[in-house]
Structure 1
Amino acid sequence: MRKRIILTSSFFLTLLIMNSCSNKVLHAHSFQDSTLQLEERVDNLVSLMTIEEKISQMVNKSPAIPRLGIPAYNWWNETLHGVARTPYHVTSYPQAIGMAAGWNPSAMQTMADYCATEGRAIYNDSQKKGNTGIYLGLTYWSPNINIFRDPRWGRGQETYGEDPFLTGSLGKAFVRGIEGDNPNYLKASACAKHYAVHSGPEWNRSTFNAEVSDYDLWNTYLPAFKDLIVDAKVSGVMCAYNAFDGQPCCGNDKLMTSILREKWNFKGYVTSDCGGINHFWKTHKTHPNKESAAAAAVLHGTDCECSGDPAYNALSKALADGLLTETEINTSVKRLFTIRFRLGMFDPLSKVPFSNIDLSALEAKEHKAHALKMAQESMVLLKNESNTLPINKNIKKIAIVGPNAADESVLLSNYYGFPSELVSVLEGVKSKFKGEIIYEQGVNIADNEVFKSQYKPSQFNYKGQQGFNGEYFKNTKWEGVPAVVKLDKKIDFQWGDGELVAEGVIANSISMRWTSEYIPDSSGEVSFALQGDDRCKLFINGEKKIETDLKTGYYTFNAIKGQKYKVVIEHLQYTDNAEIKFDAGKIEKLSPEQIAERVKDADVIVFVGGISAKLEGEAMPVSVEGFKGGDRTNIELPAVQTAVLKALNATGKPVVFINMSGGAMGFEWEAENIPAIIQAWYPGQEGGEAIADVLFGDYNPAGRLPVTFYKNVSQLPDFEDYSMQNRTYRYFKGEPLYPFGFGLSYTTFEYNELKISNASNSDEIIIEAKVTNTGDRNGDEVVQLYVTNKNNDNNNSIRDLKGFERIALKAGESKKVVFKINRDNVSAVDNNGDSKPLNGIYEFSIGGGQPTEKSRLINKNVMLQKEFY
């Protein structure tokens, strides 16, 4: 006798037929049988879908197909340096460029593994609750492995720097950490982006056409992608916004068809960058309409479109017009479901090894410890004249000055999630130093109008109650009846996307309005400050006074005691994090000399400056001198900060300059005159503690620059010129401020016994040297191997990084470091992407940096030449 049972779960709807004789479980459809081969299951599922259902699955927000038990899924998620934009509290590591400065693939892999663990915890909890929204899935659109070819690019902070070998090495480690090593399941899915030839400018990325030589394409822009796609077998790729050789990247013959799918045999899925397919016909104007753009993208292998207004909605018309076939649609849909099957989304929980990871994994102790370790490793000591550092903890007084000293948001950079706790530089110093600390912000990043909070809750009331009347709308237009109305004591909120902001309202496509009466208790000048990450507006008595996006806006007026001022604040959030803060106080304007006067009695002055991700980043509406659309127009430290540093230096007290930025800075005056400089990047949640550890010598810095620090923009070609001529350490013929690979230590290292040999019966070259810590402190050293082609051929790079290893050495300890490299990896790549035979004379250098004149005095590189036949 047979009995039919229908079961429903959040994963699938399945019909089980129980055989009473054999007790064997049979499934209504093959795709539901987890014992079958992956390809068979995917083929079966796609064969059951209608063409409309197939097309519906080709966008990031893929709807459910109830009749087949297919749940909704949103492909869009980020974990650039920690799980991003989630409604859960997560661990935040240093920004990607900072992690690159650690030159530590092992640490990168551990970080990515921890991110996947936290991501699984979020996914598992969300599934239990039936949440399938954005930033809750397991397909992470990271890492960004574009080449940081120009320091003006605001998104360069998201990359691993300017060198293809370093980028590929770190990128492969990231992929292996995210995706794991389980033979049957991906822990999570990584995505190599933005493919390819993409690195600014931000302001014209939807119209820009990049043109490069075949040599630059194969020797600079593609090697890291090949590393991740061919070697690390990354499961996803994102194609870029811009065009390449006249075709949009997501519909490019050479990039997408000839190289990615044919030469590299990539079997994973490709997603567009968000809104990129509509750029085909709207901005690039290479296609006449939406359906032709959609068809071209699919024909070139773009399987998933990320967009709020998908061009792929026109695929039905494209099919009807004969622009593509259902077979080509099937190819893309199969690739997408292959990823979902590999993530275990259609298998019993008992079979998926990551299904038991719960929320206790979020911000785990070992994750926080690793965030601190990576922040410590990212610190690059650029200058330390007269042993200014480390600071003696027994001195009496330290002054902490500068716009980034107490700012916690600067630690997180962009593409971030919210940790429960952040440690600013000021807090980090306080935890280490028991003497007197003078704190003086002094200036903002680009001006000297410093806001001083004097907020008094009693001055803001709504109908006799202290606070603001908050109206929360489930739309982005403040329309209709608000879903929730409640009294908020103060406006100071941070919400991850999808986080509950009020009962029944989550942070996704919402708007808010707060209303209160401001009644000052004294007459005089008052300033209101409004900061938000999406559009924010401040109205006083019905007149708009502030409209800001991403940065803080100010309005100053003369208030009259007892007079009532109606204050209305509006804020909206589309997707991503939602942040808003309103404050009241005074604007203080001090001259550099006045700032110096306030801190001149300190034994040491620490200036924490630089820039922030509020000014540099992705396509940002920023109108500040020196910045444009998220990029920079110059690379100098903002003039107001240099002026303050000059005044501080004039006090005669030792000055330490801590620079925070996402890329290289051209601080020529500072490099010449300030005795100690630390490049701290955007160091994540533990950044303040890591910086304090370096300041006081509790950690010996060993970070190395992953980019060249130029003196000024006059040393650079035009930003829109994608030729590598005179760019990066490999081709730059000038004198940099600080070279790629540079970084100091509190100890010293010596290199000797360099040997080069050929491995028997292989094309492998073995290079080895002995490294000795000749100082009196334990410390790490980043051993770097560079190869220079000494022949007069088409390889025009000055030198190329071909190996590196971060090692720890105790004072007086020696260690032999061995690099094994394939001969094909030493030579240049020809115009077809193939390695040329290694012939002629090559110079091999091992040291703590490049074998340049400036570096050689510190790194003491050892070099040998070898001829190959």
Structure 2
Amino acid sequence: MPIHTRNRANCSVFALFLVLMIFNPVSAQSPVFACDVNANPALSGYGFCNSSLDVASRVGDLVKRLTLQEKITFLVNKAGPVSRLGIPAYEWWSEALHGVSYVGPGTKFSSAVPGATSFPQVILTAASFNETLFQAIGKVVSTEARAMHNVGLAGLTFWSPNVNIFRDPRWGRGQETPGEDPTLSSKYASGYVQGLQQADGGDPNRLKVAACCKHYTAYDVDNWKGVDRYHFNAQVTKQDLDDTFQPPFKSCVIDGNVASVMCSYNKVNGKPTCADADLLAGIVRGQWKLNGYIVSDCDSVDVLYNQQHYTKTPEEAAADTILAGLDLNCGSFLGQHTEAAVQKGLLKESDVDKAVSNNFATLFRLGFFDGDPRKLPYGGLGPKDVCTPSNQELAREAARQGIVLLKNSAGSLPLSPSSIKSLAVIGPNANVTKTMIGNYEGTPCKYTTPLQGLAASVSTLYSPGCANVKCSSAQLDDAKKIAAQADATILVMGADQSIEAESLDRIDLHLPGQQELLITAVANASKGPVILVIMSGGGMEISFANDNAKITSILWIGYPGEAGGAALADVIFGQYNPSGRLPMTWYPQEFVDKVPMTNMNMRPDPATGYPGRSYRFYTGKTIYTFGDGLSYSTFAHNLAKAPKLVSIPLAEDHTCRSEQCKSVELYESNCKNLNLDIHLRVKNNGNMGGSHTVLLFSTPPSVHNSPKKHLLGFKKVYLGSQMEDIVKFKVDVCKDLSVVDEVGSRKVALGSHVLHVGSLRHSLSVTV
């Protein structure tokens, strides 16, 4: 979901809103809620205000009391009010991508709650490969959101997370996503959603806050060489759609039980996603059984009519989207045109009832119709529960776990504060604040910049080297001078929202401006080891640095959140052993020179020289690949338990009993409880304890243009020096050892599957 107001006609209104917020801060106030029986005792007689009834009964009672015009007010994000029924206006649009955000009108900060914990941007959190962490962050964010709701500063419906696949390194919004891999993205999606939503006690009919998985689907072009998201038609094969783009959304709904899915701006194979009944009613609501509401990206119903010209009239656009399965319009379009669509016979009032019922059901699960939330579960939460020391420590820990060590020459890192008496800190991102938190941000509790984090341990000399990341003219003299004096040099370079952002895709992968010149000049002048730190969402073309012996270490720190500088210092000075792994491939510039961003195909095409995308299919050269990441220790893997053969049970009359098959369809009868145990003995052979990220991959048989390899699962394990432990994976044969065929059907691939962790290989034969 974009910050649409930044990019469209409403930008001046948004800017004015920010100015007013700065000069007229909102103090704490009463929360917004319905069924205030203390103010209006008559409400106690309404069924929808009776919290002892089930959700469906309460929804039905409410909908039958509303006029068509009143119902239509609940089809848009600025919903209601219906004063005669004690229902106030409600703003659906709040954001919580990596902390409670001020983006969207539903949430604001004030003197009562001046900031919230700002975790690393999602791409860095994903690099931790830690499902427990994903969920823990979600729990903290929802606690802070509820605390803010109780003092009238936040809504209950948050349009996060972004689970789109990071298909192309130029995409400005890749920073918001969990990366390029469907398995990692799926596990992040379900984990973060569960952390946000799960109510105390685990009642599925209750929500702590309501999450939303976006942008559905195959959405990852914002603005590239004149092609924008409002007009882009993603041409996607059935195989790529079901194999790559859909799994995170499926996991959101089925595994995470997410309360909402947001359809995207773009067309998929010629049809706007928000008007595609197959994608919405058919898959999200039908196949996956969404328990919640489907919302449009902001103004996307307006976009499909006014910019994509998908329908001839606005009434047709309103009717098409609601009939396709859309329940809520971020924007005003459905509020303006739905009644006319009903009057013209394009839509029945019962269709409107169906949509608003899904919206109301979500609000009932949130307790919005249960009276004053301060007297309900979570009612004790307030400003004291925001920016707590433990929440801020989790932000630091999340950044530490995600930081990826990409290069480390012998004797370089970690630095010892006892032997490093002075440190040169150089670069346009060395002392930044807001850059560290990326987009869809909130006001953080506080900032610790890289310079501040490093200066807390040793004496530092500082030079920015460039005025900003665009680095139009590098100031080399001061930077070279302090590098020549210091015992070690830290260069903090990379990007910010002026380089990669919503509505801003990159054209190339090079470090901006004269950054490369600055890095090379400083490295040549430095007296001691040179550590290059890249702050960015996407990968950078840094072959020159990887190949330069003077640059002894390279770290990628994403956009590391409010505590990023402290986390970086923890890693550099060896207080934390790095364990992050890249959640996306880093390509050389030659990749983007040859491959249009608009080509959605994941698989290579030898006939045209198209190299494919992501580690699963890409056939060209890389700088770093998915899963790369070093440690200060060395870890050994040995197989403790793994079968060599698994047989798929088939019915007596199945054709594959008499014919040789390359794969078999997935049926509940032959997939039930078909799980394998894979146990690995992992030992830390190093002198330093630390966490280790274990990635289990499989290379399937070469059938149906299957991936070269794909991720089955991942675990995070802490091991002290010379310690070992058993890491256990449970492999679901039908889910994990299946591939998607050319027409989008998932099948178990028969033949030899090679399981691997690092250099360890194990062959598993799948037969019938």
Q: TM-score if structure 1 supplies the norm length?
A: 0.76
Shift of 1:712: 1.6
* Distance in 2 between residues matched to 1:652 and 1:324, nearest whole Å: 71
* Distance in 1 between residues matched to 2:370 and 2:414, nearest whole Å: 55
Counterpart among 653, 659, 677 of residue 534 in structure 2: 659
| Structure 1 partner of 2:481 | 597
Counterpart among 333, 348, 360 of residue 310 in structure 1: 333
1:633-782 to 2 correspondence within 5 Å?
633-653=507-527, 654-673=529-548, 674-714=551-591, 717-725=595-603, 726-757=612-643, 762-782=673-693
Which string of whole-angstrom CA distances, capped at 9 and with x for unpartnered residues, describes residues 457-494 of structure 1? Answer: xxxxxxxxxxxxxxxxxxxxxxxxxxxxxxxxxxxxxx
Shift of 1:63: 2.4
Q: AA paired with 1:43?
A: G
Shift of 1:704: 0.3
* Distance in 2 between residues matched to 1:227 and 1:10, nearest whole Å: 31
* Distance in 1 between residues matched to 2:317 and 2:499, nearest whole Å: 33
Q: AA paired with 2:565?
A: G
Matched, 1:219 2:236: no
1:360-509 to 2 correspondence within 5 Å?
360-394=384-418, 395-433=420-458, 435=459, 437-448=460-471
| Structure 1 partner of 2:146 | 120
Question: Structure 1 residues 241, 208: closer, same or farther in 2, change over 3 A?
Answer: same
| Structure 2 partner of 1:485 | none
* Distance in 2 between residues matched to 1:772 and 1:598, nearest whole Å: 41
> Is this contact kept in 2: 1:730–1:798, CA < 8 A?
yes
Shift of 1:430: 1.0
Which string of whole-angstrom CA distances, capped at 9 and with x for unpartnered residues, describes residues 629-653 of structure 1? Answer: x110001112411101111111253
Matched, 1:796 2:706: yes
* Distance in 2 between residues matched to 1:665 and 1:71, nearest whole Å: 49
Matched, 1:156 2:174: yes
Partner of 1:828: helix, strand, or coil? strand
Q: AA paired with 1:717?
A: V
Counterpart among 743, 760, 765 of residue 861 in structure 1: 760
| Structure 2 partner of 1:607 | 491
Which string of whole-angstrom CA distances, capped at 9 and with x for unpartnered residues, describes residues 836-860 of structure 1? Answer: 134211111123xxxxxxxxxxxx3
Counterpart among 270, 274, 291 of residue 246 in structure 1: 270
820-829 or 368-377: bigger deviation = 820-829
Partner of 2:595: helix, strand, or coil? coil
| Structure 2 partner of 1:199 | 220
Shift of 1:30: 1.0
* Distance in 1 between residues matched to 2:470 and 2:539, nearest whole Å: 21
Partner of 2:173: helix, strand, or coil? helix
1:617-632 to 2 correspondence within 5 Å?
617-619=501-503, 630-632=504-506
> Is this contact kept in 1: 2:469–2:494, CA < 8 A?
no
* Distance in 1 between residues matched to 2:32 and 2:513, nearest whole Å: 61
> Is this contact kept in 1: 2:164–2:177, CA < 8 A?
yes
> Is this contact kept in 2: 1:16–1:26, CA < 8 A?
no
Shift of 1:29: 1.7
> Is this contact kept in 1: 2:646–2:767, CA < 8 A?
no
Q: What number of residue pairs does the alignment pair up?
A: 683
| Structure 1 partner of 2:132 | 106
Which string of whole-angstrom CA distances, capped at 9 and with x for unpartnered residues, describes residues 283-309 of structure 1? Answer: 1111123221111111111111112x4
* Distance in 2 between residues matched to 1:15 and 1:647, nearest whole Å: 71
Counterpart among 225, 228, 234 of residue 258 in structure 2: 234
* Distance in 2 between residues matched to 1:689 and 1:827, nearest whole Å: 43
> Is this contact kept in 2: 1:765–1:821, CA < 8 A?
yes
* Distance in 2 between residues matched to 1:9 and 1:727, nearest whole Å: 47
> Is this contact kept in 2: 1:193–1:240, CA < 8 A?
yes
More strand by proportion, 1 or 2? 1
Q: AA paired with 1:199?
A: D
Unpaired runs of at least 5, structure 1: 1-7, 19-24, 450-588, 620-629, 848-859
> Is this contact kept in 1: 2:536–2:559, CA < 8 A?
yes
| Structure 2 partner of 1:553 | none
Partner of 1:415: helix, strand, or coil? coil
* Distance in 2 between residues matched to 1:756 and 1:351, nearest whole Å: 53
Partner of 1:693: helix, strand, or coil? helix
* Distance in 2 between residues matched to 1:695 and 1:611, nearest whole Å: 21
Partner of 1:650: helix, strand, or coil? helix
Question: Structure 1 residues 372, 634: closer, same or farther in 2, change over 3 A?
Answer: same
Shift of 1:834: 4.4
Shift of 1:167: 0.3
Counterpart among 57, 64, 73 of residue 56 in structure 1: 73
* Distance in 1 between residues matched to 2:291 and 2:119, nearest whole Å: 31
Which string of whole-angstrom CA distances, capped at 9 and with x for unpartnered residues, describes residues 577-608 of structure 1? Answer: xxxxxxxxxxxx65435531343111111100
Question: Structure 1 residues 31, 831: closer, same or farther in 2, change over 3 A?
Answer: farther
1:454-603 to 2 correspondence within 5 Å?
591-593=475-477, 595-603=479-487
411-420 or 345-354: bigger deviation = 345-354
> Is this contact kept in 1: 2:634–2:686, CA < 8 A?
yes
Partner of 2:544: helix, strand, or coil? helix
Which string of whole-angstrom CA distances, capped at 9 and with x for unpartnered residues, describes residues 490-549 of structure 1? Answer: xxxxxxxxxxxxxxxxxxxxxxxxxxxxxxxxxxxxxxxxxxxxxxxxxxxxxxxxxxxx
Which string of whole-angstrom CA distances, capped at 9 and with x for unpartnered residues, describes residues 767-790 of structure 1? Answer: 121110001000111101101112
* Distance in 2 between residues matched to 1:80 and 1:233, nearest whole Å: 18
Which string of whole-angstrom CA distances, capped at 9 and with x for unpartnered residues, describes residues 535-564 of structure 1? Answer: xxxxxxxxxxxxxxxxxxxxxxxxxxxxxx
Matched, 1:172 2:190: yes
Shift of 1:17: 12
Partner of 1:844: helix, strand, or coil? strand
Q: AA paired with 1:124?
A: N
More helix by proportion, 1 or 2? 2
* Distance in 2 between residues matched to 1:611 and 1:756, nearest whole Å: 44
> Is this contact kept in 2: 1:274–1:306, CA < 8 A?
yes
In angstroms, what is the RMSD of aligned CA positions?
A: 2.1
Question: Structure 1 residues 187, 384: closer, same or farther in 2, change over 3 A?
Answer: same
Question: Structure 1 residues 281, 713: closer, same or farther in 2, change over 3 A?
Answer: farther
Matched, 1:844 2:755: yes
> Is this contact kept in 2: 1:445–1:610, CA < 8 A?
no
Shift of 1:312: 3.4
* Distance in 2 between residues matched to 1:93 and 1:268, nearest whole Å: 27
> Is this contact kept in 1: 2:428–2:469, CA < 8 A?
no
Matched, 1:84 2:101: yes
Question: Structure 1 residues 842, 218: closer, same or farther in 2, change over 3 A?
Answer: same
- Deviating 4+ runs (over 2 angstroms): 8-18, 25-28, 309-312, 348-352, 444-449, 589-595, 713-717, 757-762, 829-835, 860-869
Q: TM-score if structure 2 supplies the norm length?
A: 0.86
* Distance in 2 between residues matched to 1:219 and 1:445, nearest whole Å: 40
* Distance in 1 between residues matched to 2:32 and 2:267, nearest whole Å: 44
Percent of paired sites with the same residue: 35
> Is this contact kept in 2: 1:635–1:713, CA < 8 A?
no
Counterpart among 350, 356, 367 of residue 327 in structure 1: 350
Q: AA paired with 1:766?
A: D
* Distance in 2 between residues matched to 1:187 and 1:110, nearest whole Å: 14
> Is this contact kept in 2: 1:752–1:862, CA < 8 A?
no
Q: AA paired with 1:660?
A: M
| Structure 2 partner of 1:73 | 90
Which string of whole-angstrom CA distances, capped at 9 and with x for unpartnered residues, describes residues 289-338 of structure 1? Answer: 3221111111111111112x434311111111111110000000000000
Question: Structure 1 residues 363, 731: closer, same or farther in 2, change over 3 A?
Answer: same
Partner of 1:296: helix, strand, or coil? helix
